[in-house]
Amino acid sequence: MYYVPKNERYSNMKYTRCGNSGLKLPVISLGLWQNYGGVNALETQREMLRRAFDLGITHFDLANNYGPPPGTAEENFGSLFKADFKPYRDELILSTKAGNLMWEGPYGDGGSKKHIITSLDQSLKRMGLDYVDIFYSHRCDPETPMEETMRALDLAVRQGKALYVGVSNYNAEQTKQAAGILKELGTPCLIHQPKYNMFDRWIENELQDVLKEEGMGSIVFSPLAKGLLTSRYLTGIPADSRAASASRALSVNAITDEVMSKIIRLNAIALERDQSLSQMVIAWVLREGKVTSALIGASKVSQIEDNVRALKNLDFSQEELLRIEEILSF
């Protein structure tokens, strides 16, 4: 059926300026890492992307190696973009990444100019795009000089293949170095995409200070800890969950008695706030405005809808924050 997005799609979503740039991102974005590859039903992917856009999610995040198999998430997105979203290209922020293994031989991964530019060309072809809005170095390659990787990102912008560039999975020191090089080249580093959630708070130590100093935004992946910080595991391990899947995206060993005790106590606070646990967790990630956007994943439309309802209550009392901190530090 021909897709026409909802007229009210921008009514309830919140958009935040990314660092010191003029670009605004939805505070909730959709990542196509899991559930959008060649092994997943295309019609389900279509339903999720359509619903996300109808709810005001304008940012879809990909990478060259997303699947499985690698590359198929971009291929599937390209097919759905052509069928449904091409008329709305100017309303979308589309991103991809390079750096992880994609093809055989010495140029199939890493941070070399050869890999970065070739990978971007392949991604654009798979998605049927002339350019991406954000192009990332997916990881810091210790075997490639930082200057070479950053010059490749700069070149992508100068060639018109990307509007902005960013980094992902870089530590604080690497981020500062990358931002400095890009600033000298005249292509500011827009954004960092790190992992961040209640159980993995490493970015609070130094990275968030660097991002503020450099005027960069942040979009955090795995805000729900691969589904662990949801109500899914309150009564056991569901058969259709990540922990039960063959891919073992979430290890059963991670679901310890100590972890479950924390989740149960956190869930109690969420219920007091009239939220699901996942909604409260997303609100917590976005607290104080230090995170530009929370990058959610989903395997069904209802999960996207539930996550977006977090926007109904993004504020925390000091008492709530102290109670959460006590639970997490126990």
CATH code for the domain in which residue 307 is found: 3.20.20.100
**In a domain? residue 266:** no
Q: How many CB atoms lie under 10 A from the CB of residue 118?
A: 18
- What domain range is 145 assigned to? 15-225+280-314
Q: Is residue 324 part of a domain?
A: no
Question: What is the pLDDT averaged over residues 289-315?
Answer: 97
In-domain check, residue 210:
yes
d(CA 311, CA 303): 14
**Which residue did the predictor score with more confidence, 244 or 323?**
323
Q: Which amino acid is at 185?
A: L
In a domain, 245, yes or no: no
Q: What is the pLDDT of residues 177-200, one digit of tens each?
A: 999 999 999 999 999 999 999 999
For residue 231, being part of any structural domain is answered with no
pTM: 0.94
Q: Is residue 163 part of a domain?
A: yes
- How confident is residue 251, by pLDDT bands cut at 50, 70 and 90? low
- Which pLDDT value is given to residue 244? 46
Bridge partners of 294?
A: 28, 220
CA distances from 65 to 75, 117, 139, 143, 244 (A): 11, 15, 12, 20, 23
Q: Are strands 15-17 and 24-26 parallel, antiparallel or unpaired?
A: antiparallel
269 part of a folded domain: no
Residue written as tokens 């990909």? 62
* Percent of the chain predicted with pLDDT > 90: 90
In this predicted model, what pLDDT tens digit does every residue of 84-132 receive, in sequence order? 999 999 999 999 999 999 999 999 999 999 999 999 999 999 999 999 9
Does residue 9 lie within any of the structural domains? no
Domain count, the chain: 1
Is the CB of residue 269 less than 8 Å from the CB of residue 198?
A: no
Mean of pLDDT values over 139-150: 98
